[in-house]
Amino acid sequence: MPELPEVETVARQLAPFLEGREARALRIFDSRLRSGPLPRLRGRRVVSVGRSGKQVLIGFSSSSNGARPVWLAVHLRMTGRLIWSDAGGRVERDHLRGRIEFDRGWLLFYDTRRFGTWSWYASREAAAPAGIDPLSPGLSAARFEKLIGASRQSVKAWLMRQDRLVGLGNIYASEILHAARVSPLRDTGSIATAEARRLHGATRRILRRAIERCGTTFSDFQDARGVTGSYQRFLRVYGRAGERCPRCGARIERIVQQQRSTFFCPGCQH
């Protein structure tokens, strides 16, 4: 499941290909990708490509007949991939669920497990998820502390709550807790101010670093399918049960929380 940095990477890599292009036609090949009426894209230009939570958000201008701008939010879920192609009709058809034809090139959506979604909105705000973006300038350390203090659950589960912070999954939650030296088993109610500050700093630092690494490791967005496999070597605890903690040398442990693996160091996370 792609987390925030991978989605940001896909958006950044697609942007130069899509921005300014004029749409010709929208084709949906899988009825599950059709939620509500589809907009008419013909004649609209792509005005922006970015990320909103864990979605790739593509903004289209108003159309020549006066129809309002529209926004496409793509949720990749498990196996969704957005691919830019200028290969015309000679593309792989297996698992192709949607396609937008432009004046030059095609945006293709492949998705073997079909959990990905396309949603259409009238504004960027309407497409925004319920939680706060952890990289948003509005998320101060004080606000972070207030948010975390308002819940009663394990801090690992809290970090993954999409209605609080958007975009963190199993991998980055483990990495953030290790960087902040906080045990995943702690209750959010017991997190002190200094710990909340460390969690806040670690969240933003680790996500920014991951975005940089995704971007440098994958110069071609078509490799987006392999992102999680290849940046594994940058992870300090995730997937490393039994190995030595790079900070204190204790053995990293794997536990299960809410049916998901958590990796942490009992030596330096308290």
Catalytic residue, from 161, 181, 236, 260: name it.
260
Decide if 87 contacts 77 (C-beta within 8 A). Answer: no
Query: Quick one: which segment of 7-15, 50-58, 131-139, 260-268 binds Zn ion (CB under 5 A)?
Result: 260-268
Of 21 and 178, which has the nearer Cβ to Zn ion? 178
Establish if 215 lies at the interface with Zn ion (CB under 5 A): no
CB of 265 to Zn ion, least distance (A): 3
Decide if 18 contacts 107 (C-beta within 8 A). Answer: yes
Catalytic residue, from 51, 54, 97, 164: name it.
54
Establish if 141 lies at the interface with Zn ion (CB under 5 A): no
CB of 153 to Zn ion, least distance (A): 24
Establish if 241 lies at the interface with Zn ion (CB under 5 A): no
CB of 104 to Zn ion, least distance (A): 52
- What is the Cα 216 distance to its own chain's centre? 17
d(CA 134, CA 217): 23
Single-letter amino acid, residue 34: R
Out of 92, 143, 248, 258, name the contact with Zn ion by CB under 5 A: 248
Establish if 252 lies at the interface with Zn ion (CB under 5 A): no
Strand partners for 59: 48, 71
Out of 245, 262, 263, 264, name the contact with Zn ion by CB under 5 A: 245
Query: Quick one: which segment of 101-109, 134-142, 212-220, 244-252 binds Zn ion (CB under 5 A)?
Result: 244-252
Establish if 265 lies at the interface with Zn ion (CB under 5 A): yes
| Chain length of the chain | 270
d(CA 79, CA 56): 14
Single-letter amino acid, residue 79: T
Strand partners for 244: 251
Count Cβ neighbours within 10 Å for each residue of 251-263 and write b for 16 or more, e otherwise.
ebbeeebeeeebb
CB of 177 to Zn ion, least distance (A): 11
Q: Is 54 a catalytic residue?
A: yes
Q: Is 146 a catalytic residue?
A: no
Q: Is 195 a catalytic residue?
A: no
What are 191's two structure tokens? 């997190």
d(CA 86, CA 182): 48
CB of 1 to Zn ion, least distance (A): 26
Q: Is 101 a catalytic residue?
A: no
d(CA 95, CA 80): 10
Active site residues: 2-3, 54, 260
Give the interface with Zn ion as residue ranges (CB under 5 A): 245, 247-248, 250, 265, 267-268
